[in-house]
């Protein structure tokens, strides 16, 4: 599958033999990958159903090198795409035809750790989990924890505004980024945000986080770290059906408790995980399990453990087990974090959807998803961040069956339609990327989208930075009505 | 004092007798204020040292009326300024010469309360405190609480990204806004953000909050409300000197406790408050008092109360009193919230500065401020959000003394210079407005500021929305190098 705009782009014939030495002069010969077989691994990110080989992979090591590489692209009108670890699930790092893929794999330095002020500065290629590893000895951690945290990069987390299990209580990536050094699409190096949260002027850090590589590339990232809680406890409650687990979630939230994380897995997911990861903790006959992590002071965790247990029992929980030491907790979470991978073992292929609904609509939406599975004849596993209504239906299919992928994508689209209809969102944490941009008009009207385009075109006027991602219309500035308006205005007299 | 750009603007002579009926046709005759004496109260906001009479005040009641008013301004190149309750302290709602002041005083409806999903939709003129009043019976509250919360408006809070005592734990306004309906400077009505936090596309809500009226005007605001904690307790610890109180703050944060709020008042503030508000709780001989609010479960608050008390005693606290019932707590906070007003009673005039420093630099910066007061011969009271390093030095002066205001502003500037030098910020919560834009180049270089200008010019290409605020350079789009670049680019061929 290819993304739009490529047809137009392919009209341009670039002389790569002249261009390659320019990139080599910046990053060295070893920093440029051009051989067809070596480029293969860069054809897709975690959304493997979309593939496109880049013309070239460039591996810079510093902000300055990134800026020089981007300038070459800018001057020669070469589209470019930034890529971290390539674990994204929406095709945000999918190359476009004849592009330069800027890969941050050699930008993996932790540049500064300031425990007193609770901040860490990293290069974008640093793996999410390394941050916590670097500061946990001193009693700190980095809160956003995507399931892929042992392999995904902070730069990619910034681009997609990644979430994770602990984002219910602590917020997603954007709540943990203090400042950024970015290279804009015309090669300028700009500092946005800073070392402290209270920065005057426009919140460009907030704008950049989640902009999916369309506004530039972050080359230094200042993260906020938190104190490790005194006590952490995970409860595993098993229910005979999904509705009861969902109802327990609502009651927990209504009671005023904000768990560190709150996750539901349905029977299909439970069995997939037990088949593959064999953790032996998840009851195979449960309709659903609810995992609740409580953190804080020992007395607080003890009290909330009792309250959550009671709420679960009132909602029909059969058994509740708790894990307070680190080893047992990790074991319980291991299954949840491996749920996507496990789906890939029990089915030749799987398609993971990422949609958000108001918590109050959970029972209704889960029933609708089940009905869709039955209607189309596909198994759909449900694993989700229940506390914030972030669903992850996993549609199991076999890509070797002709037409299967198309049907599965259709089901995925139907699910998103339901999410939006009940007042939810197209994406909770995986981003829009190449995968979902066609659905954006379901959530935003023409004027709303045009407003986003103003912002894109002003940072990325030539449309070279990650073209064809996130927004449905790949207009460049010349086509933007808003910028036309500016042009017209330039002729008139202003006070 | 007048702000720049007015000189140029005054070249234009507008025929208000032709324009006024256009505005009256939208908002009715009663919705337009044009008589000189009635316009007097709109000459300034809370920053009373800057004054400028608007040409006209317009009072719309709906989003559509705002859009129509803005369109008239756009078509006739009339600068306009939005104003909420006029309590801002940086001159963000200061009129510019010959402008239309759009006042939201008639937009005071709470449009929707959705307790189940913990959100409230309000018009911009709704007073901050009304939100909590509307939902407290059901066990909820709205967290951001500026000292002016009984008179300031939510629209103004959005424009200035207001803080408050509870923002240490719960974050500032931007962390509590889910979505906005805005009118852009060309009169478009745009929905940004939504009903849930996880919205795809650029985070335009984050960009708009804190944009100080330069990107448009919010006409409907969706707020996140929180569950009222089970237990709240305020500790008042008195110290013989400021340093000890500051050191206690550092130790509390290092211990991992995040209080709901943590405030310091020095001897001068204590006595001003006791002179005026006469609460009888603040020890007049204390070098400083530290107010710590703890909230959460009863067991959590009890445990933390002990830990905080111990930390305070270890740092030399003479006495610690606690208040757990609502009446006593309000009494303790009353003095803190009235501190600015009290300064106005013990001195003919006062100038409140708003700067942020890393907590670790507190002792050094407070000493420097003291030294500045001695050097210039002015008394400086200190009242501040100690937990997040947000200082509020109050410089006491007499405006009837020739040159006093200028000297005081010089001291204010020196204080900000120190804040920035130690890695802090020009503003924690009052905004940049007209007051501090000249200091922006101390924090941001040319490229950083230019990047902010791109954003401003694309939303506000004619520079009509709140001209001359926040950014030091009042360029319109025709002068922006970036937009020049777009123009040039339009001649070249893109793939």
pLDDT digits (tens, 9 = 90+) for B229-261: 999 999 999 999 999 999 999 999 999 999 999
Is residue B4 scored above 60 in pLDDT? no
B136 to chain A, minimum CA–CA distance in Å?
14
Give the three-class secondary structure for A427: coil
CA distance A396 to A407: 11
CA distances from A378 to A19, A172, A409 (A): 48, 32, 12
The span from the CA of A416 to the CA of A424, in Å, is 9
Nearest Cα residue in chain B from A436: B200
Nearest CA in chain B to A430: B200
CB-side exposure of B383: number of CA atoms within 13 Å? 26
Closest chain B residue by Cα to residue A97: B495
The DSSP result for A297-358, as a single string, is: SHHHHHHHHHHHHHHHHHTT-SEEEEE-SHHHHHHHHHHHHTHHHHHHHHSSEEEE--EE--
Alpha-carbon gap, residue B4 to B440, rounded angstroms: 15
CB-based contact B452 A360, cutoff 8 Å: no
Taking the CA of residue B461 and the nearest CA in chain A, the distance in Å comes to 6
Residue A360: per-residue pLDDT: 86
Q: How far is residue B297's CA from residue B229's CA, in Å, rounded to a whole number?
A: 7
In the predicted model, what is the mean pLDDT of residues B315-321?
A: 97
Taking only Cα atoms into account, the Rg of chain B, rounded to an integer number of angstroms, comes to: 23
Whether residue B106 is predicted with pLDDT greater than 60 in this model: the reply is yes
Which of A83-97, A320-334, A479-493 has the lowest average pLDDT? Answer: A479-493
Per-residue pLDDT, A490: 41
CB atoms within 10 A of CB B17: 8
Question: Encoding tokens for residue B151?
Answer: 């008179």
Statement: residue B153 has pLDDT above 90 = yes
Place of tokens 């904000």: A258
Going by pLDDT thresholds of 50, 70 and 90, the confidence category of residue B475 is low
**pLDDT band (50, 70, 90) for residue A196:** confident
pLDDT (tens digit, 9 = 90+) per residue, B263-283?
A: 999 999 999 999 998 888 899
Of B194, B470, B490, the CB nearest to A477: B490
Full set of structural domains in chain B with CATH: 16-103 (3.30.43.10), 110-227 (3.30.465.10), 231-422 (3.40.462.10)
Percent of chain B with pLDDT over 90: 82
Tens-place pLDDT, residues B377-388: 999 999 999 998
CA distance A358 to chain B (A): 7
Q: What is the number of CB-based contacts under 8 A between chain A and chain B?
A: 256
Token pair for residue A278? 């064999």
Smallest CA–CA distance from A198 into chain B, residue: B428
Q: Hey, CA dihedral for A70, A75, A77, A78, is it positive or negative?
A: negative
pLDDT value at A10 more than 60: no
Answer whether A7 touches B (CB < 8 Å): no
Distance CA A222, CA B277 (A): 43
Tell me: pLDDT of B201 over 50.
yes
pLDDT at residue B219 greater than cutoff 70? yes
Average pLDDT over residues B218-226: 98
Interface check for B451 against chain A (CB to CB < 8 A): the answer is yes
* B482 closest CB neighbour out of A194, A458, A485: A458
Q: Does A248 touch chain B (CB under 8 A)?
A: no
**Which tokens go with B392?**
């509020």
The candidate with the shortest Cα–Cα distance to A246, out of A271, A266, A218, A228, is A266
The shortest CB-CB distance from A201 to any of B203, B428, B444 is to B444
DSSP calls for B192-242: EE-SSS---S--HHHHHTTSTTSS-EEEEEEEE-EEPPSEEEEEEEEESSH
Band (pLDDT 50/70/90 cuts) for residue A359 is confident
The alpha carbon of residue A27 and the mean position of all alpha carbons in its chain are separated, in whole angstroms, by 28
Most confident among A453-457, B79-83, B351-355 (mean pLDDT): B79-83
CB-closest option in A9, A429, A470 to B495: A9
Note whether B467 and B5 are within 8 A (CB): yes
With tokens 């609010």, the residue in question is B293
- Determine the residue of chain B that is closest to A449 in CA distance: B201
Residue B479 pLDDT: 53
In this prediction, residue B99 carries a pLDDT of: 97
Return the minimum-mean-pLDDT range out of A301-310, B180-189, B327-336: B327-336
Confidence of residue B197 (pLDDT cuts 50, 70, 90): confident
Indicate the residue of B174, B436, B461 with minimum beta-carbon distance to A203: B174
CA distance A313 to A324: 20
User: Is residue B7 classed exposed, middle or buried when 0-12, 13-18 and 19+ CB atoms within 10 A define those classes?
Assistant: exposed
- Residue numbers of B between 317 and 356 with CB closer than 8 Å to A: 356
* Residue A214 and residue A489 in contact, taking contact as beta carbons nearer than 8 Å: no
Going by pLDDT thresholds of 50, 70 and 90, the confidence category of residue A139 is very high
DSSP collapsed to 3 states, A212-251: CCCCCEEEEEEEECEECCCEEEEEEEEECCHHHHHHHHHH
The mean pLDDT value of chain A amounts to 91
The pLDDT value given to residue B11: 58
- Predicted confidence band at B474 (pLDDT cuts at 50, 70, 90)? low
Pairing of strands B100-103, B56-58: parallel
Mutation site, A198, A252, A454, interface B, largest B CB count within 10 A: A198
Chain B 165-184, residues with CB within 8 Å of chain A CB atoms = 171-172, 174-175, 184
Angle between helix axes A242-254 and A298-314 (nearest 10 degrees) is 140
Scanning A465-484 for CB atoms below 8 A from B yields 470-471, 476-478, 482-483
Nearest CA in chain A to B471: A201
pLDDT at A355: 95
Neighbouring residues of A351: CB distance < 8 A, sequence distance ≥ 6: A49, A394, A395, A397, A405, A408, A409, A411, A412
How many CB atoms lie under 10 A from the CB of residue B310?
14
Residues of chain A with Cβ-Cβ distance to B117 below 8 Å are 358-360
ipTM: 0.90
Q: Does A210 touch chain B (CB under 8 A)?
A: yes
Measured between alpha carbons, how far is B485 from B481 in angstroms, rounded to an integer? 6
Residue B403: CB partners within 8 Å, gap ≥ 6?
A: none
Is the Cβ–Cβ distance between B294 and B367 less than 8 Å? no
Number of other residues whose CB lies within 10 A of the CB of residue A131: 25
More confident of the two residues B295 and A9: B295
Rounded (10°) CA dihedral A273, A275, A280, A282:
40
Closest of A338, A185, A312, A317 to residue A259, by C-alpha: A312
CB proximity A235 to B under 8 Å: no
For residue B71, is pLDDT > 80? yes
In the predicted model, is pLDDT for residue A4 greater than 70?
no
pLDDT for B152 equals 97
The answer to whether residues B79 and B93 touch, using CB atoms and an 8 Å cutoff, is no
| pLDDT band at B1; cut points 50, 70, 90 | very low
Per residue in B453-463, pLDDT tens? 989 999 999 99
From the CB of residue B77, how many other CB atoms can be counted at a distance below 10 Å?
Answer: 17
- pLDDT tens across B40-66, in order? 999 999 998 889 999 999 999 999 999
pLDDT greater than 90 at residue A491:
no
**Please, what is the angle between helix B298-314 and helix B242-254, to 10°?**
140
Partners of B426 on chain A (C-beta within 8 Å) are: 200
pLDDT digits (tens, 9 = 90+) for A205-236: 999 999 999 999 999 999 999 999 999 999 99
Task: Report residue A64: phi and psi, to 5°.
Answer: -65, -40
Beta partners for residue A351, in sequence order: A395
Say yes or no for a CB contact (<8 Å) between A206 and B211.
no
Mutate to test the interface with A, among B9, B100, B185, B198 (most CBs of A within 10 A): B198
What per-residue string of b and e applies to A26-50 under the rule 16 or more CB within 10 Å gives b? bbeeebbbbeeeebeebbbbbbeeb
Measured in Å, how far apart are chain B's first and last C-alpha atoms? 52
Residue A486 has what pLDDT?
46
CB-count exposure of residue B489 (10 Å: 0-12, 13-18, 19+): middle
- State yes or no: pLDDT of A495 exceeds 70: no
Residue A117 φ then ψ, to 5°: -100, 10
DSSP letter, residue A438: G
Contact B486 A477 (CB under 8 A): yes
- E strands present in B231-296: 231-239, 261-266, 288-296
Whether B209 contacts chain A with CB within 8 A: yes
Antiparallel, parallel or unpaired: β A217-224 and A119-122? antiparallel
The answer to whether B92 faces chain A, any CB pair under 8 Å, is: no
Residue of A424, A436, A458 lying closest to B196 (CB–CB): A424
Cross-chain CB nearest to B486 (options A190, A299, A461): A461
Q: Each residue of A16-46: pLDDT tens digit?
A: 999 999 999 999 999 999 999 999 999 999 9
A-chain residues near B200 (CB < 8 A) = 425-427, 431-432, 436, 440, 443, 470
Average confidence (pLDDT) over A80-89: 97
Contact list in B for residue A225 (CB cut-off 8 A) is none
pLDDT tens for A48-59 read 888 999 999 999
Contacts A429 to B, Cβ<8 Å: 198
Q: Which chain B residues are Cβ-neighbours of A173 within 8 angstroms?
A: none
For A361-397, the DSSP string reads GHHHHHHHHHHHHHHHT--EEEEEEGGGTEE-EEEEE
Cβ pair B211, A202 in contact under 8 A: yes
CA B54 to chain centre: 22
Say yes or no for a CB contact (<8 Å) between A206 and B174.
yes
Q: Residues of A numbered 282-301 whose beta carbons fall under 8 angstroms of chain B's beta carbons: which are they? A: 296-297, 299-300
Average pLDDT, stretch A420-443?
94
Q: Which of residues 105-144 of A touch B (CB under 8 A)?
A: 116-117, 139
From chain A, the residues in CB contact with B449 under 8 A are 201
pLDDT of residue A494: 31
pLDDT higher than 90, residue A415: yes
Across B22-55, b (16+ Cβ under 10 Å) vs e yields: bbeebbeeebbbbeeeebeebbbbbbeebebbbb
What residues in B contact A186, CB-CB < 8 Å? 485
């Amino acid at each position: 599958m290819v993304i739009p705009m490529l047809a137009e782009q392919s009209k341009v014939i670039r002389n790569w033999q002249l261009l390659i030495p320019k990139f080599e002069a910046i990053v060295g010969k070893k920093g440029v990958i051009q051989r067809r077989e070596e480029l293969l691994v860069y054809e897709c990110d975690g959304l493997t159903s979309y593939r496109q080989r880049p013309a070239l992979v460039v591996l810079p090591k510093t902000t300055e090198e990134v800026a020089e590489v981007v300038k070459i692209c800018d001057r020669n009108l070469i589209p470019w795409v930034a890529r971290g670890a390539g674990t994204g699930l929406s095709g945000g790092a999918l190359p476009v035809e004849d592009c330069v893929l800027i890969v941050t794999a050699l930008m993996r330095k932790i540049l500064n750790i300031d425990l007193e002020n609770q901040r860490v500065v990293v290069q974008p290629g640093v793996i999410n989990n390394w941050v916590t590893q670097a500061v946990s000895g001193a009693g700190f951690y980095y809160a956003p924890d995507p399931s892929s945290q042992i392999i995904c990069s902070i730069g990619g987390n910034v681009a997609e505004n990644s979430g994770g299990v602990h984002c219910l209580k602590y917020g997603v990536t954007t709540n943990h980024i203090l400042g950024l050094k970015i290279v804009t699409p015309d090669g300028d190096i700009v500092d946005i945000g800073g070392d402290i949260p209270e920065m005057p002027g426009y919140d460009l850090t907030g704008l950049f986080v989640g902009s999916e590589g369309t506004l530039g590339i972050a080359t230094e990232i200042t993260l906020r770290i938190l104190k490790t809680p005194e006590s952490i406890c995970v409860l595993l409650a098993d229910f005979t059906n999904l509705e009861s687990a969902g109802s327990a979630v609502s009651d927990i939230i209504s009671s005023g408790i904000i768990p560190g994380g709150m996750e539901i897995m349905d029977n299909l997911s439970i069995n997939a995980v037990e088949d593959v990861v064999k953790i032996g903790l998840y009851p195979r006959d449960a309709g659903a399990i609810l995992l609740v992590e409580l953190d804080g002071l020992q007395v607080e965790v003890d009290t909330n453990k009792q309250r959550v247990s009671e709420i679960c029992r009132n909602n029909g929980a059969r058994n509740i087990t708790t894990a307070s030491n680190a080893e047992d907790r990790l074991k319980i979470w291991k299954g949840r974090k491996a749920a996507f991978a496990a789906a890939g073992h029990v089915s030749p292929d799987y398609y993971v959807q990422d949609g958000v609904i108001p918590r109050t609509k959970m029972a209704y939406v889960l029933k609708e998803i089940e009905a869709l599975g039955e209607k189309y004849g596909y198994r759909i596993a449900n694993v989700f961040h229940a506390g914030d209504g972030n669903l992850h239906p996993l549609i199991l299919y076999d890509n070797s069956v002709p037409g299967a992928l198309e049907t599965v994508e259709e089901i995925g689209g139907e699910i998103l339609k339901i999410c939006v209809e009940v007042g939810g969102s197209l994406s909770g944490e995986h981003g829009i990327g190449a995968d979902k941009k066609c659905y954006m008009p379901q959530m935003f009207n023409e004027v709303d989208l045009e407003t986003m385009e103003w912002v894109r075109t002003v940072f990325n006027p030539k449309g070279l930075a990650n073209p064809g991602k996130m927004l449905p219309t790949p207009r460049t500035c010349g086509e933007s009505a808003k910028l036309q308006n500016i042009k017209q205005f330039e002729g008139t007299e202003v006070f």
